[in-house]
Amino acid sequence: MVQTQNQVHPPQPKAKRVDDQGNHRYRLYHKDGNSTMLLCKGITKPAAKHLLNTMHKFAKAIGVKIEGTFILTQ
């Protein structure tokens, strides 16, 4: 469901990716075909999984299908 991928450019220094409580922060992208769109910035892994599960449940409830791939990067 969520694909973790290394970035083309090196990640930011660790101090910028960790919040006050020590949680690592990520960026969540949606990729479909040749286009990639930033969906969330500064999200944790469990929060990203919860967001995607909620989106898929909502889409199923209203009878639509979410196409594409979700990518989580640091």
Helix (H, G, I), strand (E, B) or coil at 55: helix
Residue 33's Cβ-side half-sphere holds a number of Cα atoms within 13 Å equal to 2
* Higher per-residue pLDDT: 73 or 1: 73
pLDDT tens digits for 14-70? Answer: 656 677 787 888 899 999 989 999 999 989 999 999 999 999 999 999 999 999 999
Cα(40)–Cα(49) distance, rounded to whole angstroms? Answer: 12
**What's the pLDDT tens digit per position in 40-53?**
998 999 999 999 99
State residue 18 phi and psi, 5-degree precision: -115, 135
Distance separating alpha carbons of residues 9 and 45, to the nearest angstrom: 20
Global pTM?
0.73
Q: Distance between CA atoms of 67 and 59, rounded to whole angstroms?
A: 11
